Chains A and B, each alone.
Chain A
Amino acid sequence: MPSRTKTVLIWIVTFFIMLIICMPGLWIILSAFRTNGEILTKPAIWIPQNLTLDNFRAIFGFGENVVGIPVASYFRNSLVISITSTALALLIGMTGGYAFARYSFPGKKPAFLWLMLSRTVPGIALSLPIFIIWSRLGIIDTKFGVILVFTAINVPFTVWLTEGFFRQVPNDLNEAAQIDGCTRWQAFWKIEFPLAKSGIASAGIFAFLTSWNEYALASQLTRSTDSKTLPVGLMDFTAQFTIDWAGMCAMAVIIIIPALILTFLVQKHLIAGLTFGGVKG
Chain B
Amino acid sequence: MATVTLKDVVKRYGAVEVVHGINLDIAHNEFVVLVGPSGCGKSTTLRMIAGLEEISDGDILIGDQVVNQLPPRKRNISMVFQNYALYPHMTVSENLGFSLKIASRSKEEIEAAVQDAADILGLDELLERTPAELSGGQRQRVAMGRAIVRHPDVFLFDEPLSNLDAKLRTQMRVEIKKLHAKVKTTIVYVTHDQVEAMTLADRIVIMKDGHIVQIGTPLEVFERPVDTFVAGFIGSPPMNLIDGTIKNDTVVFSDGRSVPVPPDFSGKVVDGRRVVFGFRADVLMPKGHTLAESGVLHDLDLTIDLAEPLGSESILLSSFGGKDIQARMHNPRPVKGGEVLSCELHLEKCHLFDAETGQSLRG
Contact = CB atoms under 8 A, between A and B. Distances in A.
Q: Determine direct contact between A and B, CB below 8 Å.
A: yes
Given A178-B52, A179-B78, A172 B72 contact: no
Contact of B85 (A176, A181, A183, A194): A176
Contacts of B51: 178-179
B354 to A, nearest CB: 41
B103 A181 contact: yes
A243 interface: no
A183 B73 contact: yes
Interface residues of B, number: 23
Given A178-B71, A179-B78, A170 B85 contact: yes
Contacts of A175: 50, 52, 72, 79, 81, 85
Interface in A92-121: none
Interface string B57-94: 00000000000000111000111011111011100000
Interface of B is mostly: loop
Given A179-B78, A181-B99, A182-B102, A172 B73 contact: no
B98 interface: yes
Interface string A158-181: 000000000000101101111111
Contact of B72 (A170, A178, A194): A178
Contacts of B73: 178-183
B42 interface: no
A272 to B, nearest CB: 16
A201 to B, nearest CB: 15
Nearest to B13: A104
B351 interface: no
A162 B318 CA distance: 59
B11 interface: no
B146 interface: yes
A148 interface: no
A170 B103 contact: no
A26 B278 CA distance: 84
A263 B87 CA distance: 29
A186 interface: yes
Contact of A183 (B50, B71, B84, B98): B71
B78 to A, nearest CB: 6
Nearest to A194: B89
A176 B89 CA distance: 14
Nearest to B73: A181
A194 B89 CA distance: 8
Contact of B79 (A176, A183, A186): A176
A252 interface: no
A91 interface: no
A266 interface: no
A28 interface: no
Interface string A28-47: 00000000000000000000
Contacts of A234: none
Interface in A196-255: none
B99 A173 contact: no
B50 to A, nearest CB: 6
Chain A CB within 10 Å, residue with most, of B52, B77, B150: B52
A191 B87 contact: yes
B102 A181 contact: yes
A130 interface: no
Chain B CB within 10 Å, residue with most, of A173, A175, A176, A190: A176
B72 A179 contact: yes
A190 to B, nearest CB: 8
A195 interface: yes
A173 B79 contact: no
Contacts of A186: 102
A195 B83 contact: no
Contacts of B81: 172, 175-176
A195 B103 contact: no
A84 to B, nearest CB: 30
Contact of A172 (B83, B98, B103, B150): B83
Nearest to B14: A106
Contacts of A180: 73, 78, 98-99, 102, 146, 150
A52 B215 CA distance: 88
Nearest to B149: A180
A178 B85 CA distance: 12
Contacts of B77: 179
A183 B74 CA distance: 10
Contacts of B87: 173, 176-177, 191
A19 B146 CA distance: 56
Nearest to B77: A179
A118 B103 CA distance: 44
B116 to A, nearest CB: 17
Nearest to A104: B13
Chain A CB within 10 Å, residue with most, of B77, B85, B88, B102: B85
Nearest to B75: A179
A82 B85 CA distance: 38
18 contacts: A172-B82, A172-B84, A172-B85, A173-B85, A175-B52, A175-B79, A175-B85, A176-B87, A178-B51, A178-B72, A179-B50, A179-B72, A179-B77, A180-B146, A180-B150, A181-B150, A182-B73, A191-B87
Interface of A: 170, 172-173, 175-184, 186, 190-191, 194-195
Given A170-B85, A179-B77, A181-B103, 18 more contacts: A172-B84, A172-B85, A173-B85, A175-B79, A176-B79, A178-B72, A178-B73, A179-B51, A179-B73, A180-B99, A180-B102, A181-B73, A181-B150, A184-B71, A186-B102, A190-B102, A191-B87, A195-B89
Enumerate the 6 nearest inter-chain pairs by beta-carbon distance, A residue then B residue, closest first: A172-B85, A180-B99, A176-B85, A181-B102, A181-B73, A178-B72
